[in-house]
Structure 1
Amino acid sequence: MDTPELTARPTPIPGMVLYELPVHGDARGWFKENWHRGKMVALGLPDFGPVQNNISFNAKRGTTRGIHAEPWDKFISLASGRIFGAWVDLRDGPTFGTLFCAEMTAKDAIFVPRGVGNAFQTLDDNTAYTYLVNDHWSAEAQADYTFLNLADEDIAVPWPIPLDQAIVSDQDRTHPRLGDVVPMRARRTLVLGADGQLGTALRAEYDGDETVDFAGRATFDITDDAAYRAMDWRKYATVINAAAYTAVDAAETQQGRAAAWRINAGAVTRLARVAVEHSLTLVHVSSDYVFDGTVDVHGEDEQPSPLGVYGQSKAAGDAAAAVVPRHYIVRSSWVVGEGRNFVRTMAALAAQGASPAVVDDQWGRLSFAKDIAAGIRHLLTSSAPFGTYNVSNSGEPYSWADVAREVFRLCGADPGKVTTISTADYAKPGMAPRPRSSVLDLTKIHNTGFAPAPATRRLAEYLEGAAADPDDGNRLTVRSAGGK
């Protein structure tokens, strides 16, 4: 006898899927695999991470419950009896008010996304209705429910047993009609490290998007356990971690080493734990410094080989973030954004008529913060496969000296004033080692439909914008001429 197979059938409500489960029976009764993560994920079920299993036993035919939209995902099935199920999309969006109905027995299961109103009516006595959810029930969570009246005239659920003959609680009879229902809003996005170079770019990228919250260190210290305990993580679907310790040379000191590991590794481990516990998508920003630079072009699958403390702490953070089932690790190189950076240093030197000596044996591409931010948003909105992605600007690789010459040229100074020096000759006591090559392979991000702008174009735009901002006090800050 052939073994029946698990099958899935989509519904008119986005994200909601009806499953037919193989049930194996004989004279003793029956057996089924009620929940099989591997098989169901392979059929497209989100890996939603259930944490609680509930059973609603209904003694009488005609018991009717709902319509409740809850702030978590549910996987519903039956242990005994039959139900008529009714689901109404109560999420804010174009499918608000969409109805789907189905009769279910022990061979059926359905995945109900957060915000879809759920109701059922028992068609047999002694019906056991079971469901998995991916958050723990609490009185506080119940305050986030959205309700719809079982008898709403616009939705007009075709109940097999008329509601005036059904067993319905007084509370369920008093829920609002559709016209008075406040749709359940989508869970939000939280940007941490929102005051840094990338955080500032993310603020600009998401300007006007009221579903995104921004937290700088004063609002949320990623190294403070109390901040994690105080946060209501149920509000969020995605966390973008733009916070990092980036003082590469200072990381080689005793104090800097502790700070680098506390922020780049320890805090990311805390974020990863939260993301797993609350089924969040974690976006974590990585660095070319996780490599030693002996490979000419770095792909996403290359094993880390960091040279210094900064790179080591970033590699440890990457390993923690990769544990999260829904994660994007976004690896960049030579980041340029608002605030102090190599490009602004060279622009200031060009304005002063200086002749800087700049290393010419380290190769890479600039990564403008605005393009990293756009790449992050693209990965999230396009539902790209989870994993690691290189995101820098495009174009031919160049050395730091090449960048300096181009900055001088764009600033109207003589590029010939930029002289070259080797990394070995430039090195000073306490300076962190740098990768020889920071060139990142961009094939994978291109294959998702995102094409980073050429670095040369972004550099010209950046310098033009800096020159147009006379109040920018960072514009004349002079730093080392050896890159990050």
Structure 2
Amino acid sequence: MRTGGPASRRPPRPPTPRRASDVALSVEATTIPDLLVVRLPVHEDNRGWFKENWQREKMLVLGLPDFQPVQNNVSFNARRGATRGIHTEPWDKFVSVSSGRVFAAWVDMREGDTFGATFSIEIDPSVAVFVPRGVGNSYQALEDGTVYSYLVNEHWRAGESYPALHLADETVALAWPIPLDQADLSEKDLANPRLGDVTPMPRRRTLITGAGGQLGRALAEAFPQAHAVTRAELDLTDTEALQAWPWHEYDVVLNAAAYTAVDLAESAEGRRDAWAANAVGPTVLARLAREHRVTLVHYSTDYVFDGTVEEHAEDEPLSPLGSYGQSKAAGDLATTTAPRHYLLRTSWVVGDGKNFVRTMADLAARGISPSVVSDQLGRLTFTEELARATRHLLTSAAAYGTYHVSNGGDVTSWADVARVVFELSGRDPSDVTPITAAEYAVGKELAPRPTHSALDLTRLRATGYEPADARESLASYVAALQRP
């Protein structure tokens, strides 16, 4: 292989094909997952040509990711045969040609079943390619004076290493139009390893915050490959710790961290803690999600509403009654500033930990007959259901935004739930005495609570998801509590 040489050794240059100006903008899948070919209309006349090289609105509609480019690089290749690669960068890129033609080839260098998969295509000004993070790219100029450019969604950082592959690797066997021994190559590219010696690029991971809570534990079980951290490992109230976290390693954050002591949030100390965890933490996460192109999933509550509407839709104006609800409402607003976000509001959460159902089951087992509020209405949400809905929204590529999530079935009162728990525990349901919220509050310092907590699940169902019936899930949950 040569790293330069006289022009007489170069193969003759083929003519440039004429570009059709009536080609419709389109996006095509390839043999490498997420590597996309974009066909660009090129409008020509006697003066030259014009094209919309990057048109975000039109291209997103056709399926191109909203990869948020931050840097534009241009590569000039003086002679036909100039060959670059195979380089694997830890960012996405959008490659196009401004002048001339190139043979472009890609090798999937990401860990997984598609490691080593290849795709190649000739690119002229009418073709562009979206290259996802972790896919190695290489280009061979087919004309003198070829210029190609690429948009990238991270700034280049000096000293960062990433996988590279030898251009002549026998395993991938790329079909170079100009034989490599007649091409212009760099000494660095000649030293790249073969595929068998390459360490695949790790895929970006899912991070679960608040893994010590009921929801966090359910999410960790539903996403076994995720990195689940407790507050001791990552405290959302510590803005310096959040800023120092290696966010470039993640593409999804499931934020289950929250301050949930509703009544204590009314105290001076509790109010500060609630706002730090429920408002400031999500605000910082949303900013980091914007900077690092992370999908942020944040979990909220029916307490952001005053409960005067019998069933709450996603677009109902926020109207929290107490400090806890106010802090969660602030977190909701902050979350929506992340371009890729799912804000999941839920109600009456039951999981692996202290909760109303577990308390009622314990009272039933100990022969205690409680008085339970009968004029607060809603639906239970089991953490397994919330985790299942989370996975559905992520894997189905549902539209970003706000969704209400709970189990399905009839709206009930807390007293109704308690009676069912007693019945499932072998106790007489009539042992539960219904009382009003006002009667229950006598002599207690309680935060205000919404009377109506039921959430409208229409938007969630429109994504193809059907929530499990709350009564059926309750029976399964109580049965699991009774097993030794």
User: Do the structures match in fold with TM over 0.5?
Assistant: yes
Q: Is the 8 A contact 1:269 1:317 kept in 2?
A: yes
Provide the residue aligned with 1:139 in structure 2. Answer: 158
Check whether the contact 1:77–1:130 (CA below 8 A) recurs between aligned residues.
yes
On the 8 A contact 2:86/2:164 being kept in 1, the answer is yes
1-structure distance, mates of 2:482, 2:430:
22
Q: Distance in 1 between matches of 2:438 and 2:76?
A: 74
**8 Å contact kept, 2:377–2:452:** yes
1-side partners of 2:468 and 2:49: how far apart?
A: 60
In the other structure, the counterpart of 1:129 is 148
1:257·1:309 contact (CA, 8 Å) conserved in 2?
yes
State whether structure 2 residue 353 is matched by structure 1 residue 336: no
| Aligned-partner residue type, residue 223 of structure 1 | T
Contact 2:21 2:41 in 1 (8 A): no
Letter in 2 for 1:384: A
Residue 61 of structure 1 deviates from its aligned partner by: 1.9
TM-score, with length taken from structure 1 = 0.91
Q: Please state how far the C-alpha of 1:330 moved relative to its aligned partner.
A: 1.5
Contact 1:85/1:103, CA 8 A, preserved across alignment: yes
- Decide whether the 8 Å contact of 1:252 with 1:430 is kept in 2: no
User: 2:169 matched to 1:156?
Assistant: no
In the TM superposition, 1:358-369 aligns within 5 A as: 358-369=372-383
Aligned residue number for residue 282 of structure 2: 268
Q: What is the rounded CA distance, in whole Å, between the counterparts of 1:268 and 1:344 in structure 2?
A: 29
Q: Is the 8 A contact 1:198 1:242 kept in 2?
A: yes
From 202, 219, 223, the counterpart of 1:185: 202
Q: Which amino acid aligns with 1:165?
A: Q
| Equivalent position SS for 2:281 | helix
Contact 1:23 1:31 in 2 (8 A): yes
Cα offset for 1:80? 2.3
In 2, Cα distance between equivalents of 1:22 and 1:94: 35
Which residue of structure 2 aligns with residue 98 of structure 1?
117
d(CA) in 2 for partners of 1:205, 1:104: 42
What is residue 214 of structure 1 aligned with on the other side? 228
Q: Secondary structure at the match of 2:178?
A: coil
Match in the other structure for 1:47 = 66
What aligned pairs does 1:244-263 form with structure 2 within 5 A after superposition? 244-263=258-277
1:413 and 2:432 equivalent? Answer: no
Alignment deviations for residues 207-229 of structure 1 (CA, whole Å, 9 cap, x no partner): 4x3xx101111100112122123
Q: Name 1:399's counterpart in structure 2.
A: 413
**Match for residue 472 of structure 1?**
none
- Shift of residue 393 of structure 1? 1.4
Structure 1 stretch displaced more, 421-430 or 324-333: 421-430
Q: Secondary structure at the match of 2:151?
A: strand
Residue in 2 aligned with 1:60?
79
Alignment of 1:187-336 (within 5 A): 187-207=204-224, 209=225, 212-336=226-350
Show structure 2 runs of 5+ residues with no match: 1-19
Deviation at 1:25, TM superposition (A): 4.4
Alignment partner, residue 475 of structure 1: none
3-state SS of paired residue (1:204): helix
Question: Counterpart of 1:349?
Answer: 363
Spell out, residue by residue over 1:300-348, the C-alpha distance to the aligned partner (whole angstroms, 9 max, x if none).
Answer: 2323222222112112211211222221112211001122111122222
Matches within 5 A, 1:447-462: 447-462=462-477
Q: Counterpart of 1:66 in 2: which secondary structure?
A: strand
SS in structure 2 at match of 1:147: coil
- Asked whether the 8 Å contact 2:21–2:44 carries over to 1, the reply is no
Q: CA deviation at 1:233?
A: 1.1
Of the structure 1 ranges 173-182 and 434-443, higher mean CA displacement relative to structure 2 is found in 173-182
Residue by residue, what CA displacement relative to the aligned partner does 1:114-152 show, whole Å, maximum 9, x if unpaired?
121100011222222211111122135x32x22221112
Equivalent of residue 14 in structure 1, options 33, 41, 57: 33
Unaligned runs of 5+ in 1: 470-484
- Distance in 2 (alpha carbons) for counterparts of 1:79 and 1:19: 15
Which residue pairs with 2:387 in the alignment?
Answer: 373
Conserved? CA contact 2:21–2:43, under 8 Å: no
Bigger Cα displacement from structure 2, 296-305 vs 257-266:
296-305
Alignment match, 2:128: 109
* Residue 37 (structure 1) aligned with residue 56 (structure 2): yes
Q: 2:481 corresponds to which residue?
A: 466
The answer as to whether partners of 1:286 and 1:332 remain within 8 angstroms in 2 is yes
How far the C-alpha of 1:26 sits from its partner, in A, is 4.6
Q: Tell me the alpha carbon deviations over residues 373-400 of structure 1, each in whole angstroms, 9 at most, x when there is no partner.
A: 1221222222222222222112211100
**Does the 8 A contact of 2:21 with 2:42 survive in 1?**
no
Whole-Å separation in 2 of the counterparts to 1:205 and 1:74 = 31
Contact in 2 for aligned 1:65/1:120 (Cα 8 Å): yes
- Aligned-residue identity in percent: 58
**SS of match in other structure, 1:453:** coil
3-state SS of paired residue (2:149): strand
Q: Name the structure 2 match of 1:474.
A: none
User: What's the RMSD between the two structures over aligned residues?
Assistant: 2.1
User: Is the 2:304–2:325 Cα contact (8 Å) retained in structure 1?
Assistant: yes
1:299 Cα shift? 2.3
Question: What CA distance in whole angstroms lies between the structure 2 residues aligned with 1:18 and 1:66?
Answer: 19
Question: Judging changes above 3 Å, is the alpha-carbon distance between structure 1 residues 5 and 382 closer, same or farther for their aligned structure 2 residues?
Answer: closer
2-structure distance, mates of 1:59, 1:273 = 42
| Aligned residue type for 1:236 | Y
Greater shift, 30-39 or 108-117, is seen at 30-39
Which amino acid is the alignment partner of residue 262 of structure 1?
A: A
Residue identity in the other structure for 1:33: E
Which secondary structure state, in structure 2, belongs to the residue aligned with residue 435 of structure 1?
coil
The one-character-per-residue Cα deviations of 1:167-218 (angstroms, maximum 9, x if unpaired) are 11122122222333333232100000010110111222234x3xx1011111
Q: 2:16 matched to which residue of 1? A: none
2:453 equivalent in structure 1:
438
